[in-house]
Every structure is written in structure tokens, then in C-alpha cells.
Structure 1
């Protein structure tokens, strides 16, 4: 089999065979119960077990995310719900402050359908350091993140409030490859598809009670094990399978939900008329998602563009050569960025430096226009 695959290689029957596995509760001795193939832990029991056998707990959770159903819930993770309430009020104040000036883009739902706070981590820390400290002092967050990613992980967070009547997201996989088109994902060899899910962990803190009618996250246990899933989640047969087999669990305020980013999932429809379902979404990244050196790509682009433009105009640099130089000099990835000022309005990923460089050369922009565009792109990405 080729190490490169396309959407022509996906097979919903193979996907179904993966997803129809059953959880063996004996493999998770520290769990409280298994509900709808989701492993449920009690927060006090998990904390106690980690004090006595931290490595054993880390191993159990890692196997759950990799070889098991890929999704877990921790009940009563915040024993003092006033801590959650105070942080919810911080989020509401930020939402109010931003309402008139921030474009509400989204990745897997219609823009503006829900209330979003991008980079809620930094904004909450700056808005209310006291609330931030008491909220993130919860050691379970680090325990679960370390089980999948190891130490030195990097946290980001985004608040999502699904308003009454808010519609479900489309089923999807998440960052990294989940944010790329099928065509881009197909350019990555399959070992990189497997690696993508090991680079991040998805989590959520429930900031409100989430009975089923409010639309808690739809989940498809074991779906992270399907190797071609990053090429499959837009396919209608897979969407139909998800619609028939995805499960939902009601959550209580203060519960934690964590899952492998390759798990097929989607925020559900809020069928209530007066409940605002709020979750703080945690996207935690491996420490290894960084280059070895700091490189100023904008300065490189500005230094190269005048000569690149001249060579292209004079026929001294063909398309293949142009693409090679762009690939070695400009940033080919959209992230990290500031999603408030650089939102995913046209797809799921903002314009990259490589795309800007290529567009400018193809359209023969004057140097002054290119310089201005590079500066606009740089400023948009700042937090």
C-alpha cells in the first residue's frame, strides 16, 4: 500500500468495523463506569490514585486515548463550583466587551451562530488574574494533558457558547490535519496522519449544566483509530454513519471532557429556548511542535521579493524554481495566529506567508504593495 492516500481510498465499512468495538472496562481499573463507550472517572478517585501511582494513571489514560475509545469524562473535577461561576462571569464580560468589534468566525459552524472567545487563555489572565489562578490551579488538567503529550505541553483555550436554537457542527476531526482540506491532507504521508493526533489533546470544561436538550458534544468512540479519517470526515457516507451512531453524554457544571483530536465529534444542537451552553475548550499542544531556531520569515520575504519579481518577469525563474524558493523562505503554515484579527473566514485556515508570496508574484505586485501586505499579515497574527 502506498504511504500516501487520497479520499478515493476511504472505506466506510472499515470505519464501521473500527467504531463498533466495545470498551473492556477491566482495562481501566481506576474508572468509575463506562457509559455509551465513554470511560467515566470520578475526580476525587482520580486525584487519589495519581498520588499513589501517577505513572500507572498516566499509562491508563494514554492507552484510553490511543487504543481505547479515545474519549473520557471526569465528574466533579471542580469541587467548588463557585470557581467555575466566577470564571464564567469573566468570560461573559469579555464577550460583552468584544461584541461590537470582533468578527465571530468559526471552524466547523456558521460564523456568528455561537458566541466565541478566541484565545480565552490570555484574555482571561489579563482580565482577571485572580480568577485565572484559582481556575487553572486544578491539577487534573495537567495530569490528563501529560498522559497524552508528556511534559512541557503548551495550552490554548477558546470559549464556545451555543445559544438557544444553535445548530450542530458538522462532524469533524481537529487540529492539525483536521484543519486542512482533503487535497492538502493527501499530500502528507500516512505516518504523519498518525502523528497529527499525537501532537494535541482536546478538552473542555463544562461551565453550565449540559442536559441532552442543550446539545452536548456528539462523539463517536474509537473513530480516532481509523487511519484515513482525516480524508474521510467530509464524505457523506461517513457523515451519515456519524449521524446514526454518535453518542451524547449529559455533563454537569465542573465536569471535564477530554478526547483524542482525531475522534470524530461535533457540537450538538441546542434545542432549548433559554439555555446558553458554555464550555471552555482546551487545545493543548505537544512541546515538540516548535522549530529549533527563531527565523524572521517576514524579513526574508522582503529581502527576496524584489529579485524574485525581477527573475519571474524576465523568465529567469520557472514555476518549479519559484515554488522551491518560496517553500524554503516563507511560512507555509497558518498557525499559530490571532483568530480575532486573522479569522478563518474562507475555509478553516488563514492565508499563509507562502500563499501571499505566490499570489504577489503571480499578479506581479509592485514591491511597495508587497511590503504593505507583509506588514498587514504580521500585525494580524499578533495577540
Structure 2
């Protein structure tokens, strides 16, 4: 019989080791180019030519039943990565000049440069760059494979400078950001649920040989049920340090992993490489994202660019809309925002698509989104 409540004192390293005995079998991942250190590596060019639903099935299996991590080699082109990197570097300079440099979770202060809410900041500063970057088809492919539609993107830029120390082992949002005392208040089925509410990802914005400290992972560790209560215990940390895997990455590679996977950013032992990654936290429509994002502002800023780029039928318009606009209808005020003709009212994403289909003027979208926001308020009660 499954346990209903989990206790930190019941976490035993021996139980984790039993889970880790499972090995990644290449036969289970026919679309992968190879298995390296337990991790399936996919060639972006190849999987773009395969049946997307079959690829998604394999990716979902890898993230759940498998090692909990996949690498998509060459997922982003160098040109779009370089243009985005330039904008990220300007954000970091602006933060330093303003005296608002940000810190990192699970790392010593000053080790990293961090840009919070880089998603919205990029959309406002450089909408053309944002559109080119987030039109990426493989980002949408894996997000839909793990979370389904109406997912919500957030992004944080993380730079570990030469000599900068990395992170300690941890699990990620949601329960990974709670103390053991708080996490233990949630029943076991919520511990299992937490990992399917979020997809963690990272896009390499430079080449990352091992000496630069690309992220350390413990494949298959996401399947250990008491993991959210165990990762702070010293014996688990020691095992992680001794047994993790660390994959070198090239610029444009993308890593996606189950947030329950034991992992930690590595220390940068290089002399001159500023290791930059765009960390993607992708949230289920049924969960809560970690960051507040002004998606109306993003959509209105991006709309003129999307009107122009939408003339190109090959451009990933829906992928950009998914990255900037709210795609889920709830919560709302159903007295005013009624689901006429269906089960759910229009979303922000629906309005952006309608505006593009009908070629609305720029100010018409702003007005429609403002009216949409008013309908969702409860100030008429």
C-alpha cells in the first residue's frame, strides 16, 4: 500500500541506490543518436524529420520512466543564439550599472550573474530577437510532450564566471523550493505530482566544455519518492558529488529535464569562458509559474513583429504566441467572461491569434486585451 505521508527521517541512501540501479537502455530510445552517461542525445536535424508525435512519446518516456533528462543537439541556430546573447549581456551590464545585480538559488552570492524574468525583458527590449528565438519548434515539441498545450514559459539567464562556484545538489520548483518541514505537510501524491507541473530546460549560449561547469545530473534520481525530503541530507549530497554525470554542451544545444532530478550547476574552472545558459522554466497550465510576467505588455510589444513575420507560413508563429501570451482560460470571472459557444472563455493567446488572422491594427489588440483583463476582474461584486 502506498504511503500517504512522507517523512524526512525515512529517507535512506540505500533506497535511492536501489532506484539508481536502473540503466538507460538504448533500445528504448530509437530516435536518439546515442546514449552518453545514461542520457539520450538527439540530433535536432534528424528528429525534425521524424513523426513529431512519435518523438514526443519517446521524450515523455525519457523524462518520466527513463533517466529524466534529454539533450537536443543543435536545437537552436548560432545566429539566433548570438543575437539573444548580445541582448542578455546588455541586461547584465544594465543591472550592474544600476546596482541591482541578482543572485542565484543554491549558490554562493557573487558566483553568478543572474537575470530574472529574462523572458519579458527580452520581449520588451528586442521583440524581433524574441520572436526568432521562441519560434523554435523543438522547444514547443518537448514542452507539449511533457506538459500538453497552454504551457507558460519563464526564463532566467544564468552566467557562471571563470572561477565562479556552482550550486549544491537540489531538486527544483515546486516542492524543491520548500523546506523539509513544509514539504512534509504535502501528501505523497502531491510529491509525485510536483514533477509533472514543470519542465526544466537550459539552452547553451556558448560552448560548454566540462571545465566550464555545465550542469551536473544524477540520472534516474527523479524516481526516488522521498527525494524532495532527501536532497539536503549530507549522505545524499556526498553520493551526488561522487556519482553525478556531466555532459559537455555546444552553443545551441538544449537540455530538458524532470524538475525532480537531482542536479546542480557546476563550478567554472576555465580561465576565460563566461558560461551562459538561458534557463527555461516551463509551467503546466494547471500549475503556478515561479515568476510574475506581464503577458499583455509582451503580446502588445511583439504584435507588430508577428504581423510582419506571420506572412511567412514557415515561421513558428504559434510557438511565439505560446511563449508570450496566456493560453489558459482560468481563473476568470464567469459572470462577465462567459464561455459563449464552448466550455471556456477566450484566452490572451486566442485574442492574439484572432488579431493576426483578421489583421487588426496594433491599438486594437491593446484595447481587446485590456477589455479581456477587465472581464476577468471581480470588482462588480
Interval of TM-score (by shorter of Structure 1 and Structure 2): 0.7 to 0.9
Rounded to whole Å, the distance in 2 between the matches of 1:234 and 1:121 is: 30
Q: Structure 2: give runs of 5+ residues left out of the alignment.
A: 294-381
User: Which structure has the larger Rg?
Assistant: 1
C-alpha displacement of 1:335: 4.7
Q: TM-score, normalised by structure 1?
A: 0.74
Corresponding residue SS for 1:44: helix
Q: Deviations over 1:255-309 (max 9, x none)?
A: 001100000000001001211000000000000126xxxxxxxxxxxxxxxxxxx
Rounded to whole Å, the distance in 2 between the matches of 1:336 and 1:281 is: 13
Rounded to whole Å, the distance in 1 between the matches of 2:80 and 2:183 is: 41
2:35: which partner in 1?
Answer: 34
Contact persistence 2:154–2:291 (CA under 8 A) = no
Rounded to whole Å, the distance in 1 between the matches of 2:3 and 2:27 is: 37
Rounded to whole Å, the distance in 1 between the matches of 2:90 and 2:287 is: 32
C-alpha displacement of 1:337: 4.5
Rounded to whole Å, the distance in 2 between the matches of 1:336 and 1:278 is: 20
C-alpha displacement of 1:55: 2.0
Contact persistence 2:158–2:277 (CA under 8 A) = yes
RMSD between aligned alpha carbons?
Answer: 1.3
1:198: which partner in 2?
Answer: 196
C-alpha displacement of 1:103: 4.6
Rounded to whole Å, the distance in 2 between the matches of 1:126 and 1:101 is: 21
Contact persistence 2:111–2:166 (CA under 8 A) = no
2:378: which partner in 1?
Answer: none
C-alpha displacement of 1:105: 2.6
Rounded to whole Å, the distance in 2 between the matches of 1:260 and 1:133 is: 26
Corresponding residue SS for 2:17: helix
| C-alpha distance 337-122 of structure 1, shift in aligned 2 (>3 A) | closer
2:282: which partner in 1?
Answer: 284
Q: TM-score, normalised by structure 2?
A: 0.75
Rounded to whole Å, the distance in 2 between the matches of 1:106 and 1:76 is: 27
2:6: which partner in 1?
Answer: 5
Q: How does 1:358-377 map to 2 (within 5 A)?
A: none
2:90: which partner in 1?
Answer: 93
Rounded to whole Å, the distance in 2 between the matches of 1:34 and 1:108 is: 29
1:70: which partner in 2?
Answer: 68
Match of 2:80 among 78, 83, 89: 83
2:21: which partner in 1?
Answer: 20
2:142: which partner in 1?
Answer: 144
Q: Structure 1: give runs of 5+ residues left out of the alignment.
A: 291-333, 339-383
Q: How does 1:1-383 map to 2 (within 5 A)?
A: 2-49=3-50, 53-78=51-76, 80-99=77-96, 100-289=98-287, 335-337=290-292
Q: How many residues align?
A: 291
C-alpha displacement of 1:18: 1.1
C-alpha displacement of 1:54: 2.3
| C-alpha distance 213-256 of structure 1, shift in aligned 2 (>3 A) | same
C-alpha displacement of 1:232: 0.3
C-alpha displacement of 1:77: 1.1
